[in-house]
Amino acid sequence: AKRLEGKTVLITGASSGIGRSTALEFARTNPNGNLRLIVTARRAESLEELAAEIHKETNNGVKVLPVKLDVSKADEIRGFVNSLPEEWRDIHVLVNNAGLVKGVAKAPEIDEEDMNIVFTTNVTGLINMTQAILPIFQKRPNGGQGDIINIGSIAGREPYPGGGIYCASKAAVRSFTDSLRKELIATRIRVIEIDPGQVETEFSVVRFYGDKSKADAVYAGCDPLTPEDIAEVIVFAATRKENVVVAESLLYPNHQASALIMHRRP
Ligand code: NDP
Ligand code: 8X3
């Protein structure tokens, strides 16, 4: 945790699930009370609640700045860094976590609006965020320093029927992440990808347009990972010695062995 000493961490999609747990997990590691956490998402009230919960749970002087940010809006990202108070702009860790899918439609039934939401959030949003923050990293010595942690998915490695747009978006994340690591080879900037399998969050509720019973059926008979499980790995990656890059990790719950091979209790 000393490796986070005096650092500023920026998390997208921190109002729920993995992003929210990641904020809490970083806060718990707060070295000497000087960690700064910028938590962003569209639901500003949830971010305020998160900030209050972090302060209540950790009570260790961590500073939290909730900022409303829709990563699918390029103009919001463009103005984002300059809108931050000066003392919050020295970002060291970017967690590109905001992401979603709408629906399980198969071609040719995929809704155009759903497709646009998925790509502008998961792909364009992630690339725009990276481009907004990278110049901050590149001002540091040795060609630059900082961590970019992208949340991909098993879906980006193994496409499945009904996942056309989601799988394609996460494959794009994987490909962009790989290119970026190669482009930054002469720097001390670390490019990290974390690919979860099944995690129980609001993900499936969002996928099924708010239908909780369809979302619950996804996890029936399973013991999915919790968002805390993923958060621990994200913070682990960010706290390795500076020469160590946790380039990619695929995380399954015990009953899962591929996107679709899932053991369910009878
Ligand atoms: P949740 O639905 O619980 O959280 C998603 C987060 O993304 C929310 O905080 C949401 O906030 C935010 N978000 C969505 N759209 C936008 C946007 N346009 N701008 C800013 N924030 C946005 O799901 P998870 O925690 O599971 O998802 C987090 C990441 O993990 C995603 O990238 C997802 O694809 C990935 N993932 C999830 C898996 C799972 O099984 N759950 C497995 C593998 C990967 P708000 O609505 O307030 O904007
Ligand atoms: C989310 C989980 O099952 O849709 O990345 O691949 S899944």
In sign, the C-alpha dihedral spanning 95, 13, 127, 228 is positive
pLDDT score of 1: 64
The pick from 150, 154, 193, 230 for probing ligand 2's pocket by mutation, whose C-beta has the most ligand atoms within 8 angstroms, reads 154
Q: Which residues of the chain have pLDDT under 50?
A: none
pLDDT score of 31: 81
In this structure, which residue's CA is closest to atom 34 in ligand 1? 99
ipTM of the complex: 0.98
Q: Distance between CA 263 and CA 257 in Å, rounded?
A: 9
- Domains belonging to the chain, first-starting first, are 2-251 (3.40.50.720)
Predicted TM-score (pTM) of the model is 0.98
The pick from 10, 25, 97 for probing ligand 1's pocket by mutation, whose C-beta has the most ligand atoms within 8 angstroms, reads 97
pLDDT (tens digit per residue) in 191-204: 999 999 999 999 99
Q: Is 252 a residue of the active site?
A: no
pLDDT score of 2: 83
Closest ligand to the CA of 122: 1
How far lies 121's CA from each of 72, 100, 115, in Å?
Answer: 5, 7, 10
From 166, 182, 214, 241, active-site residue: 166
Task: Give distance in angstroms: CA of 152 to centre of ligand 1.
Answer: 11
